[in-house]
Amino acid sequence: MKDQQSPGDTTPEEFRKQLHELADWIADFRENIESLRVAPNPAVAGPGAIRAQLPRQPPEDGEPFEKILSDVDRLIVPGMVHWSHPMFLGYFGWTTTAPGILGEILSAPLNVNAMTWRTCPAATELETVVIDWLRQWLGLPDEFGGVVYDTASVGIMHALAVAREQAAPYTRKLGLTNRDLPRFRIYTSDQAHSSAEKAAIALGLGEENVIRVRSDDEFRLDVNSLGQTIAHDRQAGLQPMAVVATVGTTSTASVDPILEIAKICQEQKIWLHIDGAYGGGFAMLPEYRWLGEGWEMADSIVINPHKSLFVPLDFSVLYVRDLERLRHVFTLVPEYLRGDTVETEKNYMDYGIQLGRRFRALKAWVIWRSLGREGIVTRLREQIRLANLLANWIKKDNRFELAAPVSMGVVCFRFIGADEKKLDNLNSELVERINASGRAYLTQTKLRGRTVMRIGFGNVLTTEEHLRKAWELIRQTAEDALSHGTSGRRQ
Ligand code: PLP
């Protein structure tokens, strides 16, 4: 074995051996994932349990890879929530696939920094290509250009930075203070993701200037209320700056009436950002094309292929109509990089605050080529089928009710087989009990102040059989909770 204390890398022979070992480890992990608990056992792995088994001191001498890998098995794997497990039904399910794993692995030896075209032409050009593939799949006009960030939260922050520059020109140069500027407002629904507030915090706009407009019975932004709120703010001397509309809200995957919102934004000259982090990808389905109505009137759109289009975390695309507007806000070339920029090509460092950028496009290219459009839409349709199947089971059991219309791969439901006053605690406790069992994993959310259980589909390994087991587990856990009494922890 190579002595890691001397300079240089592992020998090629040894590295090859380790890679084979790792390949077997990954293949075994994927093949046997179902035999693992979905989440750690809270009785033996409470907060701090993993830390307690790890040395506090950093390593002085190098250790063999075999030993490190055996610690992964011993300490890390049992301490994880296994998002790739077929019984993981939390959030929006998850996007792990075999081709996605291969794509991630491939980017490791290449390990480039794609900050400019010149620092890695292939990474830059491939990013432009996959962004354009997705644009075509979604039916977006070609005046939309995009950039890949790690997450949608980062995407919205950049989009609203451009909206801010439009509302208050020269902010990039002068900032917001000591200028005669009005108070800017951003509007979004009471169901929208908190990334709008985070963006307002980061941009110095203030989280209280993000106004939550009420949603209707189906959790879609209420357009009349939006119009009234904007009018009211204008009368009070405030300046509407942006509306954030959602296609696929976090709790219920509801879809805001984009076309009507877009018309208001156009009339009022307000920036329209569409948060399609989860739901946007479903516009790839011909039967869901209606999701994309009005998108051509938006100023910016975020889609997270790491939520619904099978690209491993992290891969989020921000589209901006006329991408040059984004570049204008963020381009800044330090002297030491001046020789690296090529005017005729994109330098992605110009499109955001991040300078160093990893080769994210590679994993999207690998998974999307592996599945093709057909493979993607087939899998999305299966998620929708499973969601509707579960909804039918829920409707047939009078101890449960659907808590929201089923949209895409998300089902919100509530156990109602007990005294109304106990239901919030009970539903929350059911989720906790199920997750603690290690046999499945769900999440909970609040809708109109009531606690509901929530299941999201996204995992390619989740089959109807898994769903049947999960539903049986939910019903059994409810019966047990009623017959043995609740723990009373959440009074
Ligand atoms: N928008 C919506 C609708 C979401 O559901 C989420 C996260 O779940 C986000 C934005 C934030 O996504 P990210 O984790 O990529 O920042």
Residue 73 inside a domain? The answer is no
Query: Tens of pLDDT along 203-260?
Result: 999 999 999 999 999 999 999 999 999 999 999 999 999 999 999 999 999 999 999 9
According to the model, what pLDDT value does residue 426 have? 97
Domain of 328?
Answer: 113-358
What is each CA distance from 17 to 2, 14, 67, 69, 102, in whole angstroms? 13, 5, 14, 13, 18
Position 147: which residue type? V
Atom of ligand 1 nearest to the CA of 92: 8
According to the model, what pLDDT value does residue 344 have? 83
Residues 329, 423 within the same domain: no
Alpha helices in 175-247 (DSSP H): 195-202, 223-235
Question: What CA–CA distance (Å, rounded) separates 192 from 220?
Answer: 9
Residues 324, 189 within the same domain: yes
Query: What is the DSSP code string of 2-24?
Result: --TTSSS---HHHHHHHHHHHHH
Question: What CA–CA distance (Å, rounded) separates 359 from 348?
Answer: 11
Instruction: Give the distance (Å) from ligand 1 centre to CA of residue 181.
Output: 31
Residues 140, 229 within the same domain: yes
Could you tell me whether strands 239-246 and 184-189 are parallel, antiparallel, or unpaired per DSSP bridges?
parallel
According to the model, what pLDDT value does residue 490 have? 43
Question: What CA–CA distance (Å, rounded) separates 73 from 98?
Answer: 20
Residues 329, 413 within the same domain: no
Position 44: which residue type? V
Residues 392, 270 within the same domain: no
Q: Cα-Cα-Cα-Cα dihedral of 254, 163, 203, 148, to 10°?
A: 70
According to the model, what pLDDT value does residue 491 have? 35
Question: What CA–CA distance (Å, rounded) separates 194 from 187?
Answer: 12
Residues 381, 261 within the same domain: no
Both tokens assigned to 320: 């901006």
- Domain boundary among the residues 306, 329, 358 is at 358
Could you tell me whether strands 184-189 and 400-402 are parallel, antiparallel, or unpaired per DSSP bridges?
unpaired
According to the model, what pLDDT value does residue 486 have? 61
Residues 455, 379 within the same domain: yes
Q: What is the CATH number of the domain that holds 411?
A: 3.90.1150.170
Could you tell me whether strands 316-321 and 300-303 are parallel, antiparallel, or unpaired per DSSP bridges?
antiparallel
Residues 286, 347 within the same domain: yes
The pick from 95, 151, 188, 195 for probing ligand 1's pocket by mutation, whose C-beta has the most ligand atoms within 8 angstroms, reads 195
Q: What is the CATH number of the domain that holds 134?
A: 3.40.640.10
The pick from 221, 250, 454 for probing ligand 1's pocket by mutation, whose C-beta has the most ligand atoms within 8 angstroms, reads 250
According to the model, what pLDDT value does residue 449 have? 96
Residues 390, 256 within the same domain: no
Residue 191 inside a domain? The answer is yes
List of the chain residues with pLDDT < 70: 1-2, 486-491
Q: Cα-Cα-Cα-Cα dihedral of 44, 50, 54, 57, to 10°?
A: -130
Residue 71 inside a domain? The answer is no
Atom of ligand 1 nearest to the CA of 276: 3
- Domain boundary among the residues 303, 324, 358 is at 358
Question: What CA–CA distance (Å, rounded) separates 199 from 478?
Answer: 40
Residues 283, 308 within the same domain: yes
Q: Residues enclosing ligand 1, CB less than 6 A?
A: 151-153, 193, 195, 246, 248-250, 275, 277-278, 304, 316
Taking the CA of residue 312 as centre, how many other CA atoms within 13 Å lie in the half-sphere pointing to its CB? 20
Question: What CA–CA distance (Å, rounded) separates 45 from 81?
Answer: 12
CA angle 41, 47, 49 (to 5 degrees): 75
Question: What CA–CA distance (Å, rounded) separates 435 from 37?
Answer: 10
Residue 317 inside a domain? The answer is yes
Residues 417, 305 within the same domain: no
- Domain boundary among the residues 302, 326, 358 is at 358
Query: Tens of pLDDT along 63-97?
Result: 999 999 999 999 999 999 999 999 999 999 999 99
The total number of structural domains in the chain stands at: 2
Residues 194, 286 within the same domain: yes
